[in-house]
Structure 1
């Protein structure tokens, strides 16, 4: 009986530490995913401005999501240079 309780406590403690080890990387993935979604939403809304059309794809959404306004200005500059 005591061995079973100690075994269950050991497994719970092990699961806790494994969960703690994976929580920070998962939080980073969730944060990057949220930024990609917000960057794509921003690009989608910007496309309603006349004479300003930017492609909404994963790379451009990631650029705007991670860099913010400088990333948006970078996409506008690339559009002006590349045509």
Structure 2
């Protein structure tokens, strides 16, 4: 649904996402190119994010890691993909 790099997705913060406008604003310091990005969100992505907010909405990161200031590791993402087949 989103055409972003895995690291950009894993480090997404709730404050960057505006579900009402259906956009995700990625700051330049988080992108590989060093450019600010505005990512349009499909209605399906907004629905998933709204559901996910119930689990991690009080945290900094959309995909919260084990620590307060940590986002999900790449290995966690890869393990989830392998588990799903």
- Report the TM-score range of the alignment, normalised by the length of the smaller protein: under 0.3
Q: Whose strand proportion is higher, 1 or 2?
A: 2
TM-score (norm 2): 0.25
The structure having more radius of gyration, on CA atoms, is: 1
TM-score (norm 1): 0.26
Q: Whose helix proportion is higher, 1 or 2?
A: 1
